[in-house]
């Protein structure tokens, strides 16, 4: 057969992380490579109770086709939760989607023509590069500093290019764990005010803040031009693939059309179960429990890094989320480190995958949410040893 595939498939590759995860299936390897929530945080029994109740009380409707926008009471629940955080939206501004990841696909579908310029952080969420990449934009990137994006660079990009959207994870970013300061948010808003560019605020980890203060959503500054993405993956269950997208009406109309063409609607049974779970349980104390869990794991990893890593390796100290970002001395390759580390039975994700421009060779992502404190200590120790070995060469 000739080449039957679309042009876009020649530039998109399977996830690099996915390939790495295969290497780390060996149970002897301590893996900081994945991005899995701690399963101890899953409310298994409460979800089971919710499922029983939904099927008993309205089984036939819960198993039937439903609307593209999603279960109305669930959309209402989400909008009320936003209101408490100062984000004024109605249930009509919210659509339930198959994980917030699907939001990236839908946004790309309605906004990106081949060659359109879009802006991402440097580094950025890998799967966003994949989702957006399917629609063949030109990726441009702005450096992420410790308190958020480099605003001078952002302003220059916006002034010199017609940028369709700026994709950002302002809270506990994957991969870096970095959070935008309030001042940075205000600066970004001021700069974006005078441009048509859409701000895509992806916020899967926002609820998992275990220190510091909540910062306002960019939608409180840029109401009309912000699209929010949210997720139940980190507070209920990632396997259920339940997230939402929040946008103003003109954008939402297009998103609904795209969602319908993608998969008609999100799993309705699961929407009903999660809604039932949310109203029948004390969600705030559940989230509080997860925060405690992750804080312990994060604190453990930070202190072990301080103990076992050479002093010239820099790390971020996240106030929430699931990841720490490490930067090796200039010229040292984390890909080379990966090979050494695997022999020492410890794994991580080399940072290069997270850079749209192919840089970042001396960086790495470490996940702490899916390892016990014992394993974190032992793993960081092995990794420190591997770094020293590489530096000695």
Task: Kindly identify the residues of this chain, within the stretch 101-130, that bind its own copies according to CB under 8 A.
Answer: 101-102, 105, 109-113, 116, 127, 130
Token pair in block for residue 125:
């969420």
SS3 (DSSP) at 346: strand
User: CB-wise, 198 or 340, nearer to its own copies?
Assistant: 198
Element (DSSP H or E) covering residue 367: strand 363-367
Binding track over 136-175 against its own copies, x by CB under 8 A: ----------------------------x-----------
Report the C-alpha gap between 148 and 170 in whole angstroms. Answer: 7
User: CB-wise, 11 or 393, nearer to its own copies?
Assistant: 11
Strand pairing report for 117-122 and 163-168 = parallel
Interface stretch with its own copies, choices 140-148, 149-157, 237-245, 332-340 (CB under 8 A) = 237-245
User: CB-wise, 122 or 265, nearer to its own copies?
Assistant: 265
The size of the chain, in residues, is 393
Using CB under 8 A as the binding rule, whether residue 256 contacts its own copies is answered as yes
Among 12, 287, 342, 391, binds its own copies (CB under 8 A): 12
Report the C-alpha gap between 203 and 218 in whole angstroms. Answer: 11
Q: Give the number of residues in contact with its own copies, rule: CB under 8 A.
A: 83
Q: How far is the CB of 156 from its own copies (least distance, A)?
A: 20
Report the C-alpha gap between 185 and 194 in whole angstroms. Answer: 15
Among 19, 23, 59, 329, binds its own copies (CB under 8 A): 59
Q: How far is the CB of 383 from its own copies (least distance, A)?
A: 23
Among 90, 159, 193, 260, binds its own copies (CB under 8 A): 260
User: CB-wise, 194 or 303, nearer to its own copies?
Assistant: 194
Q: How far is the CB of 220 from its own copies (least distance, A)?
A: 19
Among 86, 159, 190, 239, binds its own copies (CB under 8 A): 239
Nearest to 79 by CA among 230, 185, 208, 202: 230
Residues 360-389, interacting with its own copies (CB under 8 A)? none
Residues 281-320, interacting with its own copies (CB under 8 A)? none
User: CB-wise, 6 or 335, nearer to its own copies?
Assistant: 6
Give 262: exposed, middle or buried? Use CB within 10 Å, 0-12, 13-18, 19+. middle
Report the C-alpha gap between 29 and 341 in whole angstroms. Answer: 10
SS3 (DSSP) at 129: helix
SS3 (DSSP) at 283: helix
Among 65, 213, 282, 393, binds its own copies (CB under 8 A): 65
Interface stretch with its own copies, choices 58-66, 75-83, 172-180, 376-384 (CB under 8 A) = 58-66
Residues 71-100, interacting with its own copies (CB under 8 A)? 97-99
Q: How far is the CB of 250 from its own copies (least distance, A)?
A: 8
Report the C-alpha gap between 172 and 290 in whole angstroms. Answer: 15
Nearest to 294 by CA among 304, 282, 302, 305: 302
User: CB-wise, 99 or 384, nearer to its own copies?
Assistant: 99
Report the C-alpha gap between 220 and 166 in whole angstroms. Answer: 16
Among 19, 23, 26, 39, binds its own copies (CB under 8 A): 39
Question: Which residue is associated with the tokens 């009509």?
Answer: 92
Q: What is the dihedral of CA 70, 71, 77, 80, to 10 degrees?
A: 50
Token pair in block for residue 331:
């010229």
Among 14, 284, 285, 311, binds its own copies (CB under 8 A): 14
Report the C-alpha gap between 358 and 248 in whole angstroms. Answer: 34
Q: How far is the CB of 46 from its own copies (least distance, A)?
A: 10
Whether 66 contacts 198, CB under 8 Å: no
């Amino acid at each position: 057969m000739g080449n039957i595939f679309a042009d876009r498939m020649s530039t998109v590759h399977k996830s690099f992380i996915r390939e790495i995860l295969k290497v780390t299936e060996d149970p002897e390897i301590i893996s900081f490579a994945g991005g899995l929530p701690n399963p101890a945080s899953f409310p298994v029994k409460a979800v089971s109770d919710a499922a029983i109740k939904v099927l008993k009380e309205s089984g036939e409707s819960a198993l039937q086709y439903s609307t593209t926008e999603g279960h109305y009471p669930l959309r209402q629940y989400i909008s009320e939760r936003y209101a408490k955080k100062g984000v004024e939206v109605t249930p009509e501004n919210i659509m339930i989607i198959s994980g917030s990841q699907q939001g990236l696909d839908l946004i790309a579908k309605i906004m990106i023509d081949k060659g359109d310029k879009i802006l991402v952080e440097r580094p950025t969420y890998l799967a966003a590069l994949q989702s957006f990449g399917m629609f063949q934009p030109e990726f441009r990137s702005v450096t992420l500093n410790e308190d958020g994006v480099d605003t001078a660079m952002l302003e220059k990009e916006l002034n010199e290019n017609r940028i369709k959207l700026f994709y950002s994870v302002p809270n506990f970013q994957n991969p870096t764990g970095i959070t935008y300061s309030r001042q940075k948010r205000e600066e970004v808003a001021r700069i974006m005010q005078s441009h048509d560019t859409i701000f895509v605020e992806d916020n899967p980890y926002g609820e998992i803040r275990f220190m510091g203060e909540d910062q306002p959503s960019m939608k409180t500054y840029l109401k009309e031009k912000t699209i929010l993405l949210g997720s139940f993956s980190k507070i209920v269950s990632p396997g259920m693939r339940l997230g939402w997208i929040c946008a103003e009406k003109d954008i939402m109309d297009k998103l609904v059309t795209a969602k319908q063409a993608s998969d008609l609607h999100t799993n309705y049974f699961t929407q009903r179960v999660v809604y039932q779970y949310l109203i029948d349980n004390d969600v705030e104390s559940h989230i509080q429990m997860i925060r405690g869990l992750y804080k312990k794991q994060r604190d453990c990893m930070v202190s072990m890094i301080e103990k076992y890593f050479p002093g010239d390796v820099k790390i971020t100290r996240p106030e929430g989320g699931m990841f720490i970002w490490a930067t090796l001395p200039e010229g040292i390759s984390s890909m080379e480190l990966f090979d050494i580390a695997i022999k020492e039975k410890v794994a991580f994700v080399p940072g290069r995958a997270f850079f749209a421009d192919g840089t970042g060779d001396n960086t790495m992502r470490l996940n702490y949410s899916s390892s016990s404190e014992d394993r974190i200590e032992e793993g960081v120790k092995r990794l420190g040893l591997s770094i020293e070995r590489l530096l000695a060469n």
